[in-house]
Amino acid sequence: MTRQAPPNGTQTQSLPAGTPAHTPATDSARHGLIACHECDLLVRLPTLEQTHRLSCPRCKHSLGLTGERHLERALPLGICAALLLALSLMFPFLAFERAGVSNQMTLLQTGIALVQDGSLLLGALVLLFIILAPCLLVGCILLIACSLRLQRPLPGVKTAARLMHRLTSWNMVEVFIIGVFVSLVKIAGMAHVALGISLWSYLALAIVLTAAAGSLERISLWRRLAELEAPA
């Protein structure tokens, strides 16, 4: 058995060669084990309260963060994200005015307008990735955060944890915001454009969602959920 220090000084412990690396996520988390995604080395994680970045002792690949303190930020960030999402859906997103004729649209109307204009696939993708995916992501974060705060596993929390990590890769909030501002550069020369409350709320949502999902780091989250499921 060898013990090496990663570049940041946090100790990780590698298990003997031949130890099976592919174990269920909950069992691995319960025993403080994680398999390196690069070299498949099974590493025993240290128990830390403060947040530390861990590296594989063999290939130095980053294993992620460990620690318990950052999990506490998930609930307030999740509540903030839910409020920002509600504001984004309730208020006007953009307003246009040209030659005395004005028009405004909400975030939901952006996808519906594309569908009504004949762009069925594009409109469906907008509704899926811009509205539905963030709603599901916020719901997963709140369910996980409430479970951690109540110190007991709520129904569906493990499914929510798996879904959250998958949705993070498909969350297109930042891409949509960048696309909107790029389009505004061209539209501003043709009509007067007013930015609505929904746009600024959605911009803040992109930042808060990233912070909320980041606070529920995979290693610490599964370890904590395994502890909550363990018999007292």
Beta bridge partners of 35: 42
Verify that 14 and 112 share a domain, yes or no. no
Verify that 111 and 38 share a domain, yes or no. no
Is pLDDT above 90 for 45?
no
224 C-beta neighbours (distance < 10 Å), count: 19
pLDDT at 3: 39
Q: For residue 80, give Cα distances in angstroms to 48, 84, 86, 131, 195.
A: 27, 6, 10, 16, 21
Q: Which domain holds residue 149?
A: 71-217
169 C-beta neighbours (distance < 10 Å), count: 6
Nearest alpha-carbon partner for 23 in 13, 9, 33, 14: 33
Sign of CA dihedral 187, 193, 197, 200: positive
Q: What is the mean pLDDT of residues 221-227?
A: 81
Give the confidence band of 82 by pLDDT, cuts at 50, 70, 90.
Answer: very high
Verify that 122 and 43 share a domain, yes or no. no
Is pLDDT above 50 for 10?
no
Verify that 43 and 156 share a domain, yes or no. no
Give the confidence band of 143 by pLDDT, cuts at 50, 70, 90.
Answer: very high
Region of poorest pLDDT, from 6-10, 56-60, 192-196: 6-10
Q: Which two tokens stand for residue 160?
A: 């929510």
- The answer to whether the CB of 113 falls within 8 A of the CB of 127 is no
Verify that 95 and 184 share a domain, yes or no. yes
Q: Select from 22, 51, 67 the last residue of a domain.
A: 67
Verify that 97 and 192 share a domain, yes or no. yes
Q: Select from 27, 49, 67 the last residue of a domain.
A: 67
Count of structural domains, the chain: 2
Beta bridge partners of 103: 96
Q: What is the mean pLDDT of residues 167-175?
A: 81
Verify that 159 and 209 share a domain, yes or no. yes
Nearest alpha-carbon partner for 106 in 120, 89, 119, 122: 89
Sign of CA dihedral 29, 47, 9, 12: negative
Verify that 105 and 40 share a domain, yes or no. no
Q: Select from 10, 32, 67 the last residue of a domain.
A: 67
- 24 compared with 73, residue with greater pLDDT: 73
DSSP-derived secondary structure for 173-221: HHHHHHHHHHHHHHHTTTSEEEE-HHHHHHHHHHHHHHHHHHHS-HHHH
Domain of residue 186, CATH code: 1.20.140
Verify that 93 and 205 share a domain, yes or no. yes
Tens digits of residue pLDDT in 14-33: 444 334 444 344 444 445 66
Measured CA to CA, the distance from residue 184 to residue 186 in angstroms comes to: 5
- The answer to whether the CB of 43 falls within 8 A of the CB of 51 is no
Give the confidence band of 96 by pLDDT, cuts at 50, 70, 90.
Answer: confident
Give the confidence band of 2 by pLDDT, cuts at 50, 70, 90.
Answer: very low
Verify that 83 and 148 share a domain, yes or no. yes
With respect to residue 96, please indicate whether it lies within any of the assigned structural domains.
yes
With respect to residue 227, please indicate whether it lies within any of the assigned structural domains.
no
- 77 compared with 53, residue with greater pLDDT: 77
Verify that 146 and 100 share a domain, yes or no. yes
